């Protein structure tokens, strides 16, 4: 049977492990040729996963992938990675902005250097990669852009505020994800005439991944990583005229569609 992504090129950032790896594998299984990028090319005992491992696992399953390492907090690397993958695969039909860096600390003592790094990774890197992808998508009059966001981007409700909102240190992380959500809506509106869908998606609960575990994000309520990969596949193949500008959370979204 033909896959939903046959004939398409997908670029997935942060694809060495976790959500990015799983989304890349799902798109490849549906026929996409996948460009992979992250900082870690070769296996390293300090980290769980690498671009080489993701590429080899996709190829072992019968898919096709190319990996290019880069640090997307640096604009020169954004340009280089996009150019190299586009030269080898063609300009992407699908762009998944998943790469992230997260520091959890209360705002009264948050270091400016780390705050700038989080804005670079969560806001400016997606902004630039979308800008780079637009010309090819406009030429084809089709395209799918997915930003991986977080439920932490929702505004805390209070007073009184919950103990979690007061003490967990998610203030800066939630701020950059809220900015990414707003960027998603703005791009969706601007690119709607070009047949380009721009959406954002997040797990409803933390997914037990190496990154989440290291930040103690997956202590209690967790969800299967397949929920975000299913959500990503839907949003990366949906009709842009009907599905664009949404910020969705896996479980309500999949229930809406009757998938769970």
Number of Cβ within 10 Å of residue 224's Cβ equals 14
Bridge partners (DSSP) listed for residue 196: 143
What is the DSSP-derived secondary structure letter of residue 77?
H
DSSP secondary structure of 137-197: HHHHT-EEEEEE--GGGSPPP-SSPPHHHHHS--HHHHHHHHHHHHHHHHHHHHHGGGTEE
Write out the E strands in the chain: 9-13, 33-38, 64-69, 94-97, 143-148, 196-202, 247-249
DSSP-derived 3-state class of residue 100: coil
| Among the listed residues 214, 260, 254, the one whose alpha carbon sits nearest the alpha carbon of residue 234 | 254
Annotated catalytic residue within 173, 187, 249, 253: 173
Torsion, CA 240, CA 83, CA 71, CA 15, rounded to 10: 50
249 is known as an active-site residue: no
Instruction: Give the Cα separation of 250 and 204 in Å (integer).
Output: 5
ω before 160 within 30° of 0 (cis)?
A: yes
Residue 189 CB contacts under 8 Å (≥ 6 apart), including other chains: 245
Active site residues: 173
């Amino acid at each position: 049977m033909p896959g939903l992504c046959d004939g398409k090129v997908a670029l997935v950032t942060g694809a060495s492990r976790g959500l990015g790896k799983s989304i890349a594998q799902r798109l490849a299984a549906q026929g996409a040729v996948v460009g992979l990028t992250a900082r870690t090319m070769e296996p390293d005992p300090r980290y769980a996963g690498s671009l080489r491992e993701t590429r080899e696992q996709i190829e072992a399953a019968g898919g096709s992938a190319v990996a290019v390492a880069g640090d997307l907090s640096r604009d020169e690397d954004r340009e280089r990675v996009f150019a190299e993958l586009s030269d080898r695969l063609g300009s992407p039909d699908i762009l998944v902005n998943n790469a992230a860096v997260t520091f959890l600390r209360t705002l009264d003592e948050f270091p400016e250097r780390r705050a700038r790094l989080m804005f670079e990774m969560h806001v400016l890197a997606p902004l630039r990669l979308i800008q780079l992808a637009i010309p090819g998508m406009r030429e084809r009059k089709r395209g799918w852009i997915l930003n991986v966001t977080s439920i932490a981007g929702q505004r805390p409700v209070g007073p009184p505020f919950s103990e979690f909102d007061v003490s967990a240190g998610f203030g800066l992380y939630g701020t950059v994800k809220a900015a990414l959500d707003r960027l998603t809506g703005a791009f969706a509106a601007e690119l709607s005439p070009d047949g380009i869908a721009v959406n954002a998606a997040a797990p409803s609960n933390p997914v037990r991944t190496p990154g989440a575990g290291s930040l103690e994000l997956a202590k209690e309520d967790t969800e299967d990583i397949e929920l975000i990969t299913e959500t990503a596949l839907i949003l990366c193949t949906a009709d842009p005229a009907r599905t664009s500008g949404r910020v969705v959370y896996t479980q309500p979204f999949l229930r809406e569609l009757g998938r769970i």
